[in-house]
Amino acid sequence: MRALLSFAGGSGHALPMMPIARALAGRGHEVLFTGQPAMLDQIRGAGFDAVDSGGSTLAAATDRRVLVRADRDAEVRVIRESFAGGIARERAPKVLGVGEDFDADIIIHDEIDFGAAVAAERLGVPHASVVVLAAGGMITPGLLDEPLNRLCAELGVSARPDLLDRFLTLAPVMPSFRDPRSPFPPSTLAIRPDVLADHQEREDPAVDRVEAFLAAQPDRPLVYLTLGTVFHQESGDLFTRVLTGLERMAANVVVTVGRELDPAELGVRNERVLVERFVAHRAVLPRAALVVSHAGSGTVVSALACGVPLMLLPLGADQPWNADRCVALGVGRMLDALTVSPGEAAAAAEDVLRNATYRAAARVLSTEAEALPRADAAVGAIEQLVS
């Protein structure tokens, strides 16, 4: 079988497909990724072939934007007008061409890579969607009808209400995390989040530095601070404000600022703080007592899969919905990223660390994650779909 894996955004769109890609390759199937050029080296570094088909372009390393308040209405418009509009119209013919050249038997695409689904329909092959909006809530009934119907007409595809999920939906998300007002489609198979996978990581000096840092520290709670792989570049002074607060605590702190930011930008920190550009979740989350984050789907799901409670500072995209769901489930607290002070950050972090109910609620999600089938189950479903 020849599987084309397509994504429309950055790491948060591509990485959830990695365990599926590894499982496909492990079963002898041929795998090809396609997405925006800024992501291709990262995909190739993971051992897979990848080709350019455009998409939502990552910011250059030198780009910085000021921190603004999260605007839910604006983020929903981005889904409709950009991902289902301009990005889908750009990507659909390109993915179609890649699929034809690759002779794909199936296209597996991230949840909002709508153009790839339409391309698969035009090719006459099945397609599977991989959930990247963990809590749901952004895509309401009818939101995408007009732009997708227009795209289908342009490519000579029959528009149908179940276009996006009529074959298979793969959700590397604990089902109870999903907002019940935005349920998964009937075609959904939930699988274990990648942070719990047992594959061998490639050698990474950053992981070695984390190991050495923790080995040299007294036995204190570990706090992990991250603002993800996209929104870190539009976070203003949020890293500094939050880290100044976390430094006041009797805790070890690991911070990842993203590949585009220089750790030196945070200045000299005390001996209880390690700042890195990027560290794989599996290297730090199983040891963490608290995760402080922007509420991105990947970080939230990975933390909860490891039973770690959260302090959340949503910045945009689906993050406000994820943060709402965390608060509703009692697994963390949400603060205003625009106004939070060092003192408020420290107080909220201390509260989550000391209040055992947060960790107990997170452990419920972790138990659920551990009981989910591995990515091999997804491959079995894909094989049945193709056959």
Residue 229 lies in a domain: yes
Both 131 and 210 in a single domain?
A: no
Both 242 and 312 in a single domain?
A: yes
Q: How many helices (H) and strands (E) does the chain have?
A: 15, 13
| CB 197, CB 19: distance < 8 Å | yes
Strand partners, 276: 256
Residue identified by tokens 């452990």 is 363
Residue 42 lies in a domain: yes
Measure the CA–CA gap between 296 and 195, rounded to whole angstroms.
Answer: 15
Both 335 and 351 in a single domain?
A: yes
Both 231 and 338 in a single domain?
A: yes
Both 331 and 296 in a single domain?
A: yes
Measure the CA–CA gap between 104 and 161, rounded to whole angstroms.
Answer: 24
Residue 200 lies in a domain: no
Residue 198 lies in a domain: no
| Among 235, 152, 101, 165, CA closest to 385 | 165
pTM of the model: 0.93
Residue 199 lies in a domain: no
| Among 139, 184, 232, 129, CA closest to 243 | 232
| Among 350, 324, 151, 163, CA closest to 248 | 350
Both 378 and 334 in a single domain?
A: no
Question: How many domains, the chain?
Answer: 2
Both 328 and 310 in a single domain?
A: yes
Residue 197 lies in a domain: no
- Domain housing 289: 205-370
Residue 144 lies in a domain: yes
* pLDDT tens for the 387 residues of the chain, in order: 999 999 998 888 999 999 999 999 999 999 999 999 989 998 999 999 999 998 776 544 455 667 778 789 999 999 999 999 999 999 999 999 999 999 999 999 999 999 999 999 999 999 999 999 999 999 999 999 999 999 999 999 988 888 999 999 999 999 999 999 999 999 999 999 999 987 666 668 888 898 988 888 888 999 999 998 665 556 578 989 999 999 999 999 999 987 767 777 777 778 899 998 888 888 899 999 999 999 999 999 999 999 999 999 999 889 999 999 999 999 999 999 999 999 999 999 999 999 999 999 999 999 999 999 999 999 999 999 998
Both 31 and 178 in a single domain?
A: yes
Residue 257 has φ and ψ, to the nearest 5°, of -100, -5
Both 16 and 138 in a single domain?
A: yes
Both 173 and 302 in a single domain?
A: no
| Among 269, 153, 155, 199, CA closest to 18 | 199
Residue 149 lies in a domain: yes
Measure the CA–CA gap between 9 and 46, rounded to whole angstroms.
Answer: 17
Distances (CA, A) of 281 to 158, 240, 310, 353: 41, 22, 14, 20
Both 348 and 359 in a single domain?
A: yes
Q: Identify the CATH number of the domain in which residue 172 sits.
A: 3.40.50.2000
Both 187 and 240 in a single domain?
A: no
Contacts of 86 (CB under 8 A, 6+ apart): none
At residue 206's C-alpha, the angle toward residues 292 and 171, to 5°, is: 55
Measure the CA–CA gap between 31 and 51, rounded to whole angstroms.
Answer: 12
Strand 290-293 relative to strand 310-312, pairing: parallel
